[in-house]
Amino acid sequence: MGYEEVVMPPVRRRGRCSQFIIDNLLIIMMIVAVAIGVGMGMGLREHWAYYEKRKMHFLRFPGDLLMNMLKMMILPLVFSSIISALASLDIKKSGKMGIVAIIYYMSTTLIAVIIGIILVLSIRPGELGNSDLDRKGKEKTANPYDALMDLIRNCFPPNLIAACFEKQVTSATPTNFTISNATDDYVTRDVPKVGTGSGTNILGIIVFSIFLGIIIAKMGEKGKPLVDFFESFSLAIIKLVTLIIWYAPFGIMFLIAAKVIEMEDPAKTFTQLAYYMLTVLAGLAVHGFIVLPLIYFIVVRRNPYKFMYNMVKALTTALATASSSATLPITMNCLQENNHIDERVTKMMAPIGATINMDGTALYEAVASIFIAQYNNITLDVGQVIIISLTSTAAAIGAAGIPEAGLVTMTIVLTAVGLPVEDVTLILAIDWFLDRCRTSINVLGDSFGAGIVDRLVLGPRSNRNLDNGIMVSGIELEDTVAYKDNKAFQPDTKSKSMEKTAL
Ligand code: ASP
């Protein structure tokens, strides 16, 4: 294909060294921010009564700004990333990427569910500890069939602009119907109605972007202006995200402090639900620290813990925001900048992963449902356990990447096996905490997924055909990045576009 072999220029030591300090400085700042946030929250709890809402409102302000900044990036990032990634890949590679991604998402989510089920069946948290749990809040119910149909319906939003701020939601109202005019007999039937609910329909936007990206790729030369537009747009957004990342530690500190103050009677909650909490945490730990790293190691043959360390900024943000979607900009930044995942893979995998791949949520849904069964002395047979594992996987796919979304979709799992839906209120008190932990594992699963797809679809890094069309062989990735960053050695854009068409 006429690739040029290049002799690598010497890497500028000072640049790499200062880059190392900058990256680690941010990671340190994030960890310190979490610690200060917890400390500040604990300290202020002593002095602020729970009804001092105005003070808490002020305290949350810097954190709210961070949430807004991150959320502001989601839409432009999802649009431009997916379109530009697909438009610059050939159809074969996109197809392979899609297949590998689906296999990875489905298998890891199922593994997470199985880990959760094994743990909850062996620890039996519902039978241990307090038999009289406090209830909190009110459950939200969801009909499993409506929820499934809404999931599919939302893939095709009727209005793309409306999809940016609302989703389609089916609600059913029980209504009486008279059977005949002669008698007063009537029957009661649900009347389903498709309405709208607030929240971005990211799934719809992803589906639209995937199709548009593929079509642009197929258009060849005629699609080139659009490819350039979306590539440049996505680059600009990624640069904006870099700015937000410097503000993140400050915002995270206040988000965490406010959450610590808002906790109602944490000692009681933590003791009452201790076994349940420990079961979920143990499951998340096994999945996040053993299973996912092992899969990554087997496929990629690289140090998974170094990969995880490089994701710390995203994991801390997930912990602070409890939202995979809000963390998305930082996840992409860490994958590209720290783990050097190919930008086309990052742009494709990160937004889709943040929306549909939720290992932590699936594990938690399975544990929570079986916990509720144990608490009610309901014995589940093998068939019901299998239904729980399948519906937990589906419910996690359906859950949005926003705080406590898993709690709503869990009613699907409960309904499927006939468990009392209102018992969700038993575990609500601790959900804010578990939500943060499972969101971090969700983000970790997405990240390892990108690493694995990068390796399986684009091949070993040491033998990679960079998208600038130059074959680089037998060199370490860091060197290739240094090479890419070195302006003096950039190939001209003409050969780049020619190579892309050839791909
Ligand atoms: N908060 C989780 C996320 O954004 C979803 C959930 O489990 O509630 O990934």
Ligand 1 atom with the smallest distance to the CA of 325 is 4
Q: 371-402 pLDDT, tens per residue? A: 999 988 888 888 889 999 999 998 898 888 88
Does the pLDDT of residue 362 top 50, yes or no?
yes
Residue 335: per-residue pLDDT: 94
Residue 264: per-residue pLDDT: 73
Q: Domain residue spans in the chain?
A: 13-165+200-458
Can you tell me the mean pLDDT for 61-78? Answer: 90
Can you tell me the mean pLDDT for 109-135? Answer: 85
Ligand 1 atom with the smallest distance to the CA of 404 is 8
Residue 142: per-residue pLDDT: 67
**Torsion angle of alpha carbons 64, 65, 69, 75, nearest 10°?**
40
Does the pLDDT of residue 470 top 50, yes or no?
no
The secondary structure of residue 83, as a DSSP letter, is H
Lowest mean pLDDT among 299-308, 342-351, 410-419, 461-470: 461-470
CATH class for the domain made up of 13-165+200-458? mainly alpha
Can you tell me the mean pLDDT for 108-136? Answer: 84
Residue 223 to residues 76, 81, 404, 503, Cα–Cα distance (Å): 20, 16, 40, 15
Q: Is 402 in the pocket of ligand 1 (CB under 6 A)?
A: yes
Q: Which two tokens stand for residue 298?
A: 């087997």
Q: 198-236 pLDDT, tens per residue? A: 888 888 999 999 999 989 988 888 988 998 999 899 889
Q: Separation of 222 CA from ligand 1 center, angstroms?
A: 40
Q: Separation of 30 CA from ligand 1 center, angstroms?
A: 21
Q: Which two tokens stand for residue 29?
A: 């700042």
Can you tell me the mean pLDDT for 105-121? Answer: 95
Entry pTM? 0.79
Separation CA 186–CA 149 (nearest Å): 29
All residues at 6 or more sequence positions from 51 whose CB lies less than 8 Å from its CB, including other chains: none
Q: Which of 357, 404, 433 to mutate to test the pocket of ligand 1 (most atoms within 8 A of CB)?
A: 404
Kind and range of the H or E run holding 194: strand 186-198
Q: Is 37 in the pocket of ligand 1 (CB under 6 A)?
A: no
Of the pLDDT bands very low, low, confident and very high (cuts 50, 70, 90), residue 113 is very high
Q: Separation of 262 CA from ligand 1 center, angstroms?
A: 20
Identity at 229, one-letter amino acid code: F
Does the pLDDT of residue 425 top 60, yes or no?
yes
Separation CA 106–CA 99 (nearest Å): 11
Q: Which of 325, 358, 441 to mutate to test the pocket of ligand 1 (most atoms within 8 A of CB)?
A: 358
Identity at 331, one-letter amino acid code: T
Q: Separation of 322 CA from ligand 1 center, angstroms?
A: 6
Q: Separation of 434 CA from ligand 1 center, angstroms?
A: 10
Q: Separation of 97 CA from ligand 1 center, angstroms?
A: 24
Identity at 291, one-letter amino acid code: V
Separation CA 402–CA 72 (nearest Å): 14
Q: 262-281 pLDDT, tens per residue? A: 877 777 777 778 899 999 99
Exposure string over 366-400, b if 16+ CB within 10 A, otherwise e: bbbbbbbbbbeeeebeeebbebbbebbbbbbbbbb
Q: 305-358 pLDDT, tens per residue? A: 999 999 999 999 999 999 999 999 999 999 998 999 998 899 989 999 998 899
The per-residue pLDDT of the chain, averaged, comes to: 82
Task: Kindly state the percentage of the chain with pLDDT values over 70.
Answer: 84
Separation CA 494–CA 503 (nearest Å): 15
